[in-house]
Structure 1
Amino acid sequence: MSGYLTGVLVVLAFNVIAAYAVYLPLAAGQLNLGIAGFMAIGAYGAAFLTNEYAWPLWAAVPVGAAAAGLTGILIGIPVLRTHGIYLAMATFALGQVISAIFLNLEVVGGAAGYPVTDYAGPYAVFAAAGGVVALMLLISRTRFQLYLTAVKSDPTVADLMGISVRGMQVAAFALGAAVAGFGGAFYAHHYNFVEAQHFSVLLSVYTVLYVLFGGTQTVWGPLVGAAFFTLVPELLRASNEWRYALFAVFIILFMAVRPQGLVTAALLRMFRRRTAEGEA
């Protein structure tokens, strides 16, 4: 595998992890625009443990993810009292605050960035992304996913059915934060450098676009959306002067025609039906 292809696939792996971190809160009807902040917590937390305390990578990464998840719980309880655009604005501000904290925290390099000693190779990153996809597929087959769908569809009815709406929202928010922290921890150890400027609001916005484009109705949507936004610009690289314009026009037209996203529940049902007919 060439270095260029490996680099593109590594970027794809990180985008897939980030997309699923956004997908989990969206599955409960929450738009989290602060996902980059939780990635920063995982990145700096795991890097600090491997740098300063010589922790092995396999131990530091889960702790970084857990720190992001715990932060998600502590922040999610008050923040999730808001809804709609107010929730989006609150998470947007949250991401900015977290990034600003690390930007001014001298113990991890401040604005100059933080070099990381341990290295996670490309195949470790691929395995991490594969593990996240497997986890999402597992969750999609549990009652937890059904409860999230119920909360998103109609919180009042879900509450009448005995589902703890706030509890499910906080759980989805915290689990998404933990997945983001997991990806951030691997990011720090693959590139061997962390800087707070990378975890900007643009990273959160791009990641939300992956999920909305791929679709939020099925667990495959974030994977397809992340792959599209990562690979198609590279395929258009030959027309370097126009590739971003062509890409933007296509996205606008596509979302106007298919606002529910690329992968929908109806599309998957049709695919399964045709597969079953073909086997018969």
Structure 2
Amino acid sequence: MSGYLTGVLVVLAFNVIAAYAVYLPLAAGQLNLGIAGFMAIGAYTAAYLTNEMGWTILPAVVAGGAAAGLVGLVVGLPVLRTHGIYLAMATFALGQVISAIFLNLDVVGGAAGYPVTEYAPPAAVFGLAIGVVLFMLLLSSTRFALYLAAVKGDPTVADLLGISVRGIQAAAFTLGAIVAGVGGGLYAHHFSFIEAQHFSVLLSVFTVLYVLFGGTQTVWGPLVGAGFFTLVPELLRAGDQYRYAIFAFVLILFMAIRPQGLVTTAMLRLRRRAGSAA
């Protein structure tokens, strides 16, 4: 495998991980625009543990995910009292605050960035991305996925049915933060350098676009959306300065035709019926 192809696949793997971190709260009807902040927590926590405390990569990355999840749980409980655009603005502000903290934290390099001594090979990145996808597939077959759909569909009815709406929303928000933190921790060790400027609001917005474009109705949507946003611009690279204009046109066309996303439950049902008929 060439270095270029490996690099593209690594970016795809990180985009897939980030997309599923956004997908979990979205599945409960919660738009999280602060996902980059949780990735930053995981990245800086894991990097500090390997650099300063002598930890190996695996436990450091796990600790980074746990730290992001803890912040997600503590902050998520009051933040999830808001809804709609107010929740989006609250998570947006949260991501900005987290990024600003690391930008001014001299112990991890501040604005100059933070070099990371330990290195995680591409195989580790691919393994984590595959693990996240498998975890999401497993989660989609549990009652928790049904609770998420019920809470997203109608929180009032879900509450009348005995489902803890706040609890499900907090669990989805926290799980998303953990996935983002683990992804951020591995990101730090693969690229061997992190800076707070990378974990900006644009990263959160692009990640949300992956999920919305791929579709939120099924667990496959984030994977397809991340793949589209990562691979199509590379396929259009021959167009040079026109490739982003072409990509934008294709994106607008798809969203006009399929505003519900590329992958829907109806599409999957049709494929299952076609497969069973064959």
Does the TM-score normalized on the shorter chain lie above 0.5? yes
In the alignment, the residues of structure 2 paired with residue 160 and residue 180 of structure 1 have an alpha-carbon distance, to the nearest angstrom, of 32
> What's 1:105 paired with?
105
Unaligned 5+ runs, structure 2: none
Rounded Cα–Cα distance in structure 2 between residues aligned with 1:93 and 1:169: 19
**SS class of match (2:241):** coil
Residue type of the partner of 2:23? Y
Aligned-partner residue type, residue 158 of structure 2:
A
Query: Secondary structure of the equivalent of 1:241?
Result: helix
Q: CA deviation at 1:254?
A: 1.3
Alignment of 1:12-27 (within 5 A): 12-27=12-27
1:160-171 alignment, distance < 5 Å: 160-171=160-171
Distance 2:113 2:241 in 1: 32
1:213 aligned partner: 213
Shift of 1:86: 0.3
Structure 1 CA distance for aligned equivalents of residues 247 and 79 of structure 2:
35
Secondary structure of 1:173's match?
Answer: helix
Q: How do 1:162-201 residues align onto structure 2 when only pairs under 5 Å count?
A: 162-201=162-201
| TM-score normalised to structure 2 length | 0.99
**Distance in 1 separating the partners of 2:15 and 2:272:** 27
Please give the root-mean-square deviation of Cα atoms over the aligned residues, in Å: 0.5
Q: Distance in 1 between matches of 2:185 and 2:144?
A: 26
Q: What does the per-residue CA deviation read over 1:171-210, in whole Å, with 9 as the maximum and x for residues that have no partner?
A: 0000000000010000000000010000000000000000
Q: How does 1:87-166 map to 2 (within 5 A)?
A: 87-166=87-166
1:189-268 matches, within 5 Å, as: 189-268=189-268
How far residue 253 of structure 1 moved from its aligned partner, in angstroms, is 1.7
Letter paired with 1:271: R
Q: Deviations over 1:42-83 (max 9, x none)?
A: 000000000001101111111100000010000000000000
Structure-1 residue corresponding to 2:29: 29
- TM superposition outliers: structure 1 runs of 4+ over 2 Å: none
* SS across alignment from 2:117: coil
* Matches of 1:276 and 1:68, distance apart in 2: 43
The corresponding residue for 1:49 is 49
Structure 1 unmatched runs, 5+: none
Say how many residue pairs are matched. Answer: 278
- Give the superposition deviation at 1:276: 1.4
Aligned-partner residue type, residue 133 of structure 1? V
Partner Cα distance (1:157, 1:149) in 2? 12
Q: Which residue of 2 aligns with 1:271?
A: 271
SS in 1 for 2:217: coil
Secondary structure of the residue aligned to 1:262 is: coil
Instruction: Quote the offset at 1:2 in angstroms.
Output: 0.1
Percent identity over the alignment is 78
Letter aligned with residue 145 of structure 1: A
Distance 1:75 1:251 in 2: 34
AA matched with 1:266 = A
**Counterpart of 1:5 in structure 2: which amino acid?**
L
What are the superposed Cα offsets for residues 20-46 of structure 1, whole Å, 9 maximum, x if unpaired? 000000000000000000000000000
